[in-house]
Amino acid sequence: MNPEQTKSVSPQRREEIRQRQRAANEVRNALRELRIQLALLNYRVGLQVGLRDVDLDCLDILDTSGPLSPSELARRAGLHPATLTGILDRLERGGWIVRERDPNDRRAVVVRVVHDRYGELLGLYSAMSRSMNKILSDYSDEQLEVIADFLRHTVEAGRNATEGLASED
C-alpha cells in the first residue's frame, strides 16, 4: 500500500501492515545473510580441496542432476561452454569428475561426479549438515512443509530472475 491508501485504513490495520512489512523484511534480510554465509562456507570448503566456487557449483549440479552433457551443464550453471571446458579440465585433473561416452549416443560425452572423491566434500560440509539436522528437528512436520514450500518458491524466483538476466545477454 502506498501512503495515500493507508490514510483510509484504520490505525489497527496500518499497524498490521507495518508488522507484516517488518516480518517480510526480516525474511529478506535473513535470506541475504544466509546467501553470504553459504558463500563463505563454500569458499572455505573450496580452499580445503583446491576448488573454486564455480567448480563446487558444477559438482553440485552434477551430483543432483547428472550425469549431464557438457552443454547441458553449461546451461544449468549459466556458463559459456568455453568457460565450462576449463572448469571440466580442472575437475577432471583433480579426480572430481569423469567424461564418458553417452550410452544413448556414442558420439556424445556425458560428465559425472566421481562419488568416492565427492565424499571428501560431504565430509567438509558435515558440521553444517549436523547443524541443519538439529535445527530441522525443532520444527513440526507441518512447519517443515511450509518451510520447504517457501524455499521451493524462492528457488523458482531465483531461477526466473537468473533466466531473465541471461536473456538480456
The DSSP output letter for 102 is: E
Q: What is the pTM of this model?
A: 0.81
Tell me the CB-side half-sphere exposure of residue 78, using CA atoms within 13 A: 14
pLDDT score for 3: 59
Cα separation, 161 vs 39, in Å, equals 19
pLDDT score for 113: 95
Q: How many CB atoms lie within 10 A of CB 111?
A: 22
pLDDT score for 104: 84
pLDDT score for 49: 94
Cα separation, 36 vs 19, in Å, equals 26
pLDDT score for 4: 60
CATH 1.10.10.10 given to domain 51-114:
yes
pLDDT score for 83: 93
Q: Kindly list the averaged pLDDT for each block of 10 residues, start to end, along the chain of length 169.
A: 66 92 96 96 95 95 93 92 94 95 88 91 95 97 97 94 81
The DSSP output letter for 2 is: -
